[in-house]
Chain A
Amino acid sequence: MITAELQKGWAKSLLEAAGSAPAPWLEELRSSAGALIDGLPLVNRKQEAWRYTNVEPLLKESFQPVVERPSGYPGEVPEAITPHRLVFVDGWFMPELSDTALLPEEVTCGSLNDAIAAGDERVKNRLGSVADPGEHLFTALNTALVNDGLFLHLPAGVKLESPVELFWLNSGGETPLLAQPRNLVILEPGAEAVLVEHHLPGEGERYLHNGLTEIVLDPGAKLDHYRVQDESEQAWHFSRIVLDQGSDSRYHGITLAFGGHLARTEYNGLFTAEGAHCTLRGLYTVGDDQLQDFHLDVRHDVPHCSSREQFKGLLYGKGRAVFDGRILVAKDAQKSDAELTNDNLLLTRNAEVDTKPQLEIYADDVKASHGTTVGQLEANQVFYLRARGIDEQKAVHMLCEGFAAEIIEHIHLETLREQALARLRQTLGNL
C-alpha cells in the first residue's frame, strides 16, 4: 500500500539530492513545486488517475538524481536520420555528442540549463507557465528538480527543413539513476518544425526517466512530434507532454511505445484560441512484466477546434496496458470536433487491458465521439491467410502489422517509418 509516509519519504530523499539551480528565479520555481509535494494526493489506486497503475514498487526503489552534466558517455551514440542531432545523457544535454551547427542562426536549440544560466528571458517567461506542477507527484518532482533538457525556440515564420532528432540515453552504473529532463519548445507564429525523440536505454538498465515537456504553439505554428519509447525492460518511464495551442496551430504527435517495465505517457492538450487542431496517435506493445499506460486529456476550452486521438495496442505474454483518454468540451466551445479511439489486440492468454475513454461535454453544437475495442485476432482472418498457404505465425504477424500500420503510416518521415516497422517486427518475432 502506498502510504503518505512512503510517498513523502521517497520524494524527500530525491529532493535532498537536488543540487543548486542555475538561476535564483529557477530556485523559486523549484522550491514552490517542492512545497506542493507534501500536500499532493497519494498516487495509489484510490486515485482515479492511478487506478490501474501500481507505482508502489517504484516508490520502494531508491534513485540518485543526476544533478550535474555527465562528463562523458561510455557507449556508442546511435546514428541520426537527420543532420540536427541532440544527445542527452541522464537528462543532460551533451554538446560534444550533438550536431546543431547546421541549424539556422535564428533558431535556439540546445540545453535548457545553459539558456537559464545565460539569463534567457524566453525561458524565464514560459517555463512552468504551461504545465501545472501540482498535477501529481511526478510532475511536481520534475519541477522541483528542474535542471536540464531541451530548449527549442523558433522565431516567427521560421520553417525547419530537416527534423530535429533527440536521443535520450542513460549512463547506467551501480545505483539506479533518476533522469529528470524538462523540455521547453516554443514555436512563434507561423513557425514549423519536426521533432523526433528516441528514448533508449543506452548503457542503463534500471533507471527512472521522469520527463516533462512544455510546448507552446503560437498562432499558425505547426509541430510534428514523433516519440519512440524503447527504454530498457527494467526501466520506469514517465513522460508528460503539455500543449498550449494558439489559433490555427497544428500539433501532430505520435508515440510508439515498445519498452519499459512501467511506462506512462501523458498528453495534456489545451486550445487557447480558435481554429487549432491536435492529433495524438500511439502504438504500444506490451509483453511479460511490462505495463504501458497512456493518459490523455484534451481540453476544448474555445470554439472551432478539432482533435483526433487514436491509440492501438498489441498485448502478449503477461503484458498489461492502461488507457485513459478524456476529451473535455467546455461551455461555449461550440463547433468543437473531437474523436477518440482505442483498440487493443490481446494475442495471448494472460494479457490484460484496462481502457477508459471519456467524454465530458458542456456545449451543444459539437461533434464528439469515442470508440474502443478489445479482442483477439479474428480466427477467420487467420484462416483466410492460411488457406492461401501462409503459415500461422506469418499470418499472425501480417495481421498484427496491418493493425499497427494504421498508426505507423501516419509517420511522415520515411526512415523513421521503416525503423518503426522493423522494431515492431522484432517484437512480433518474440511472440
Chain B
Amino acid sequence: MSTQRELDDLVKAGYEHGFVTEVESETLPPGLNEDTIRFISAKKNEPEWMLEYRLKAYRHWLTLEEPDWAHLQHDPIDYQAISYYSAPKKAGDGPKSLDEVDPELIETYNKLGIPLEEQKALAGVAVDAVFDSVSVATTFREELAKAGVIFCSISEAVHEYPELVKKYLGSVVPHTDNFFACLNAAVFSDGTFVYIPEGVRCPMELSTYFRINEAKTGQFERTLIVADKGAYVSYLEGCTAPMRDENQLHAAVVELIALEDAKIKYSTVQNWYPGDEKGRGGIYNFVTKRGDCRGDRSHISWTQVETGSAITWKYPSCILSGDDSVGEFYSVAVTRGYQQADTGTKMYHIGRNTRSTIVSKGISAAHGQNAYRGLVRMGPKAENARNHTQCDSLLIGDQCGAHTFPYIEVRNPTAKVEHEATTSKISEDQLFYCRQRGLSEEDAVSMIVNGFCKEVFNELPMEFAVEARKLLNITLEGAVG
C-alpha cells in the first residue's frame, strides 16, 4: 500500500513547532546531587518540609535501578548530564498580569497557536502556561477564585496552601513508586495545583501548555488535582517542544484525587519533538500518571492523544478504591519515524461495583513501535466489578510494529473482565469503497484512521478534538497513499 518514497516523505515531514525562543534563562549546570536539590528548593523559597520531602526521594532514588521491562530501546540516559533547573529570567517578583510577561514568551505561544489573550476572551479557558519549569502566567485566577477553585502553580501552592499540598502530594504516587516518579519527587521544578472544593463544578475547562525549551533541560512537572466531594473538573494538558538534537528527558508526575461523587476528566494531547528522520534526538517521555477514586461513586477519566516524543513510557492509571467508582482510559497513540511508545493503563479495582473501560488505539507507521501495556486487577473485595478492554492496532507500512501486553489478575469471582485486541492494516475493501466514491487515497485513509480513533476523540473536549484530528492528519501525512 505505501511505497518507500511515501514513507520517506513521512519521516522527513518537518516538525511544525520546531523553533527556539531566545529568552535569557537561569540554568543550573548539568549534574545531580543533594546540592542540586537544595538549590532548586532554595530557588523556590520552599519550606523545610518540602526540602526534606525532596531529599528523602533523592536518597531513595539512589537505591533504585532504571527499569528495563518496557518494549523500548534507547541509549542509556546520563542523569548527570542533565540540568535540573531552568527558569525564564524575570524582573522583580515576576509578572502579575499578561502585560508583564516577556513579550518573546507571548510570541512563542502565539506561534504555537495558543494565544493566551485570545483564549481568555474566546474559549473561556484558563491557562497556566508553563515555559520550561516556572509558571509565567496564570489567567482567570480571579474568576476561578470566585467559585472557590484553586488553580495555581505547585510552587505557589506550597506557600499558600501548605496543608492541602502536604495532605495530598505523593499520596497517589509516592516517591517510592518507581524510578522516574522518584526522580521527579526529588527534582520537580514546577507544575500545576488544582483544588475544587466540595460541590463545585469548575466553571471552565482548565488547561496547561507545557513547553520544553532550554536544551539539556529536563522537565520535571508535577501536577496535583484534587476534586473534593461532588466536585467536577475537566483538565486539558497539551504540549509541544522545539527541535533539538539531543535527547531531552521528561519525567512528569500527575496525581489526581477524586473524593465522593467527584469527577475528574483529564485530557492530554502530546506532540513533543519525535526526533529527526534517522531517529536522532526527540523527547524521552517517562511519565507517571495516576488517579485515585478515593470516594464512593467517584469518577476519573483519562483521555490521551500521543503523537510526539521519541520515547513514550506512560500508563495513566486509576485506583478504584471507592465503591461504585468508575475509571476510564481512552488513548490514541501514533508512532512514526523511529518513535517508540509503550503506553497503556492500570485499573486497580478495590471497591465494590467498580467499573472500568479501556479503549486503546495504536497506530504505527514507518519504523514506529507501538505497545499497549495494561493491567486490570480485580481485588478480593471488588464485588461485581466490571472491566472491558478493547485495544486495536493499525499498521501502516511493513517496517513498523504493534504489540499488546495485557495483564489480567482476578481475585474475585463476581468480577467480570473482558479483553479484546486486534491488529490489522487498513483493509483494501474499505479503501476501495471510499476510492470508488471519489475520495483521494489520502483522504480515504485519513477518514478511515479518524474513524478508527473516533471512540477516543469523542471523549475529548470540543477544541481538543478538533486539534487532535488535525494533528493526526498532519502526523500521518505522506504515511499512506
Contact = CB atoms under 8 A, between A and B. Distances in A.
A347 B378 CA distance: 15
Given A356-B407, A366-B423, A374 B398 contact: no
B191 to A, nearest CB: 32
B398 A334 contact: yes
A334 B1 CA distance: 13
A106 to B, nearest CB: 44
A355 B408 contact: yes
Nearest to A366: B423
A359 B410 contact: no
Dominant secondary structure at the B interface: strand
Interface stretch (B121-129, B196-204, B411-419): B411-419
Interface in B395-409: 395-409
B456 to A, nearest CB: 19
Contact of B396 (A347, A364, A370, A372): A364
A20 B172 CA distance: 59
A361 B420 contact: no
B63 interface: no
B362 to A, nearest CB: 10
A361 B423 contact: yes
Contact of A375 (B393, B403, B417, B422): B417
B404 A354 contact: no
A393 interface: no
Nearest to A338: B423
Interface string B113-131: 0000000000000000000
Nearest to A329: B423
B425 interface: yes
Contact of A369 (B409, B420, B425): B420
Contact of B398 (A351, A353, A365): A365
Nearest to A369: B422
A375 B410 CA distance: 9
A196 B353 CA distance: 45
B347 to A, nearest CB: 13
Contact of A359 (B396, B404, B425): B404
A351 B404 contact: no
Contacts of A360: 71, 401, 403-404
A370 B401 contact: no
A359 B408 contact: no
B400 A364 contact: yes
B476 to A, nearest CB: 14
B436 interface: no
A354 B417 CA distance: 11
Interface in B180-239: none
B410 A374 contact: yes
Contacts of A359: 393, 402-404, 421, 423
A364 B397 contact: yes
Contacts of B403: 358-361
A367 B424 CA distance: 6
B420 A371 contact: yes
Contacts of B400: 362, 364
Interface residues of B, number: 35
Q: Which of B69, B397, B403 has the most CB of A within 10 A?
A: B403
Contacts of B395: 361, 363-364, 366
Contact of A362 (B396, B401, B407, B412): B401
A363 B400 CA distance: 7
Given A347-B413, A356-B405, A374-B410, A364 B425 contact: yes
B425 A368 contact: no
A363 B393 CA distance: 12
Interface string A331-367: 1101000000000101111011111111111111111
Contacts of A348: 413
Contacts of A364: 395-398, 400, 425
Contacts of B402: 359, 361
A349 B425 contact: no
Most buried by B among A359, A367, A369, A370: A359
A375 B422 CA distance: 21
Contacts of A354: 407-410
Given A359-B404, A364-B396, A344 B423 contact: no
A224 B418 CA distance: 31
Contacts of A371: 418-421
Given A354-B409, A361-B403, A375-B415, A369 B398 contact: no
Contacts of A349: 412-413
Given A346-B410, A366-B424, A373-B419, 14 more contacts: A48-B69, A354-B408, A356-B408, A357-B419, A358-B406, A360-B403, A361-B403, A364-B395, A364-B397, A366-B425, A368-B422, A373-B417, A374-B416, A375-B415
24 contacts: A348-B413, A351-B413, A352-B409, A353-B408, A354-B410, A358-B404, A359-B421, A361-B395, A361-B402, A361-B423, A362-B400, A366-B425, A368-B422, A368-B423, A369-B422, A371-B420, A372-B408, A372-B417, A373-B416, A373-B419, A374-B378, A374-B415, A374-B416, A375-B416
Interface of A: 48, 52, 331-332, 334, 344, 346-349, 351-376
Interface of B: 69, 71, 378, 393, 395-425
